[in-house]
Amino acid sequence: MAVNVLRSIDALTALRGPLVLAVGVFDGFHLGHQAVVGRAIADASAARGLAVALTFDPHPAAILRPESAPSLLTSTRHKLQLLAQAGVQHALVVEFTREFASKPPEVFIRELAAACSPLAEICVGEDWAFGKGRSGNLASLIALGRTLGFTAVGIPAVAVDGKSVSSTGIRAAVEQGELAFVAQLLGRDFSVLGTVIEGRKLGRTLGFPTANVRPESEQLPPNGVYAVRAAIDGKSHPGIANVGVRPTVSSECTQRLIEVHLFDFAEEIYGRDIEVFFMRFVRPEQKFPSLDALRAQIACDVASVRIAHRC
């Protein structure tokens, strides 16, 4: 079921309260984010109210620190899909602008409280900061809650192997290709949501047709070949993928691409959404002396991954 997306704080007035808000950027929707949202869902159920996930688009750093903004783990659309899978029925996506960032913390919270009928609770990570100059924190949120009649809940960071789970740490692990560790931090395999676009159809001439995927997220694992599974219209398909610049067939390509070959799959999927889950690294991307050599290596890769998938 898709999440009901609200695009303004005023839109909260259409929801019957009490409302419990889970607030955060939620990039990657890792275990820590899931703890915040899970608490909001549980508390809303106990209060016979509604849970609403409140997030921001674009990522605040893209507006405040564009020169050092992080690569996104999940696009907003992907994030909303993950929130829906977690049981969220309503999400408020607040447009993050410099004007919005300049609001004093209490103004933002008072706007939320005024729009909810009523606002019962706000759940955040305990280190969350908000408002002009990031001057708002959990302590000020608790104080505002006492004044405005809602409860503020700070969720402690989730730890894996003694280290706090964070989007920053996950980006670094994805960049290093530590897929098993990333899966621990996310509670699921790392995935990229994208759209299938037309390519040169070279894979068909090699005997291994591929779907060229335009990813919506910005953080990709290292260049190379991976065992993957791909979700299309809710159905999972095993396959193999290449991330990189295709050095054997294109000497001028610098843009990193994702090419996915799905096993025993013959549907036409141009223009459709595909979520690619990265299961296991197979080998680095490399340049072959000829297309025949490339074809032979792909055949070996496909055979080994088929065995791993048992298909």
Which long-range CB contacts under 8 A does 297-303 form with residues at least 24 apart?
A: 298/206, 298/208, 298/261, 299/207, 299/208, 301/225, 301/240, 302/208, 302/240, 302/261, 302/263
Query: Domain of 59: which CATH number?
Result: 3.40.50.620
pLDDT tens by residue, 247-262 = 555 655 567 889 999 9
The verdict on 197 and 57 lying in the same domain is no
183 in any annotated domain: no
pTM above threshold 0.95:
no
Query: Taking a C-beta distance cutoff of 8 angstroms, is the pair 243, 222 a contact?
Result: yes
Strand partners, 114: none
173 in any annotated domain: no
169 in any annotated domain: no
The verdict on 152 and 270 lying in the same domain is no
Cβ count within 10 A of residue 162: 5
Using pLDDT thresholds of 50, 70 and 90, give the confidence band for residue 35.
Answer: very high
pLDDT tens by residue, 262-288 = 999 988 899 999 999 999 999 998 888
140 in any annotated domain: yes
The verdict on 88 and 209 lying in the same domain is no
Whole-number Å distance between alpha carbons of 241 and 281 = 10
Structural domain of 12: 4-164
40 in any annotated domain: yes
Number of domains observed in the structure of the chain: 2
Cβ count within 10 A of residue 38: 18
pLDDT over threshold 80, residue 237 = yes
129 in any annotated domain: yes
The verdict on 78 and 136 lying in the same domain is yes
Query: Domain of 287: which CATH number?
Result: 2.40.30.30
Supply the pLDDT for residue 200. 65
Q: Judge if the upstream peptide bond of residue 118 is cis by omega within 30 degrees of 0.
A: yes
Residue 23: what are its φ and ψ, rounded to 5°? Answer: -115, 135
181 in any annotated domain: no
pLDDT tens by residue, 142-190 = 999 999 999 999 999 999 999 899 999 999 999 999 999 999 999 999 9
155 in any annotated domain: yes
6's tokens: 């609200």
For 238-251, give one letter per residue: b (16+ CB within 10 A) or e: bbbbbbbbbebeee
